[in-house]
Structure 1
């Protein structure tokens, strides 16, 4: 069972890790490329701030973004801002998300996200945790997939393997981490199952499109190509 209050605390911890790291940057490093194609670190920071606002909208029953175009335009507008402005925005929007999350609410209700996706309100704090911690990695400032909390890694692998489960373009695939945890995904293509083994951080990196899978051992065929998230 999802514990939204515990996840809100984890979001707060992840945000503090992010802010502590970003505080050590300077204006020049904010303008440098991130690990996400076409985005500077400023784009990543702007996205994180606007995503906090967007998830407040979700929890309060409003559209997540006015439109896809407005979302992209806001990120482009905010990306070039100096470090102090980025930090102030991150702090303010993170506090707004925590305040909204602390308000009395029916956490079992269904909420609307982007592109017709719906989910339980109780999962929204974990979705924010994903944004904060994975994009912290995307900044390329010393925080790596191996530094992510073990609980986070396991739960995000749970989520991504479920997302690709039954996908017609992904062959049946079994994933095994070094500690013996097993997941299954794919299953759309009628071929012999593929087995993928390796450290949990490498599995997450491959599933999330952040690593090419070269750190994994593949048996029974080639490493499946995953559709974009």
Structure 2
């Protein structure tokens, strides 16, 4: 059962960790490349802030972003700011999200995200937790997939496995963690089993690692579509 209040607490904790990490950067370090192709660390920080406001929109029944062009332009606009401005924006946007999350609401209602995707409002706090913690890793400042909480890793593997289920361009795949846990994904044909440590499985599913640390049986390691 999804516990949105527990997830909001995780969001708060993850945000504090991200703010501490970002505060260790100087302006030159913020302008250096992140682990995401084409994005500096400043782009990552700007995206995390703008995502908080976008999820506030979602919870209020508004469009997540006006459109894809505006979303990308806002991130580009904010990417080159001094670190102190990034920190203030991260804090203020996070507070806005948590404030809306604390309001009385029907958490069982359906909300709309980008590209017509719908979900339960109760899952939005976890989606925010993913944005904060996974992009913390993307900064490349010493916080790794292995440092993510076990609950986070297990739940995000399950979410991504569900996301790729039914895709005919992904073979039917069993995803098995050596740390415990088994999931299925992909289409109806094929029959590949991918095994490895949970952080490496998450990295592969989330497009953060190439899967070289994983073992594939019954076929090659499936190529996954971009998120």
Q: Which of these residues, 195, 198, 212, is aligned with residue 197 of structure 1?
A: 195
Over residues 188-210 of structure 1, what are the superposed CA-to-partner deviations in whole Å (9 max), with x where a residue is unaligned? 4x23x111111000000000000
Name 2:209's counterpart in structure 1: 211
Name 1:142's counterpart in structure 2: 142
Name 1:225's counterpart in structure 2: 223
Distance in 2 (CA, whole Å) between partners of 1:173 and 1:112 is 29
The answer to whether residue 99 in structure 2 is matched with residue 99 in structure 1 is yes
Name 2:127's counterpart in structure 1: 127
Name 1:89's counterpart in structure 2: 89
Aligned residues: 227
Name 1:71's counterpart in structure 2: 71
TM-score for the superposition, normalised by structure 1: 0.98
Secondary structure, counterpart of 2:116 in structure 1: coil
Distance in 2 (CA, whole Å) between partners of 1:95 and 1:187 is 40
Distance in 2 (CA, whole Å) between partners of 1:208 and 1:107 is 26
Shift of 1:61: 1.0
Over residues 143-200 of structure 1, what are the superposed CA-to-partner deviations in whole Å (9 max), with x where a residue is unaligned? 0000000000000000000011111001111111112311111124x23x11111100
Name 1:21's counterpart in structure 2: 21
Name 2:44's counterpart in structure 1: 44
Secondary structure, counterpart of 2:106 in structure 1: coil
Shift of 1:220: 1.1
4+ residue segments displaced more than 4 Å: none
Q: Which runs of 5+ in 2 are unaligned?
A: none
Distance in 2 (CA, whole Å) between partners of 1:134 and 1:156 is 10
TM-score for the superposition, normalised by structure 2: 0.99
Name 1:117's counterpart in structure 2: 117
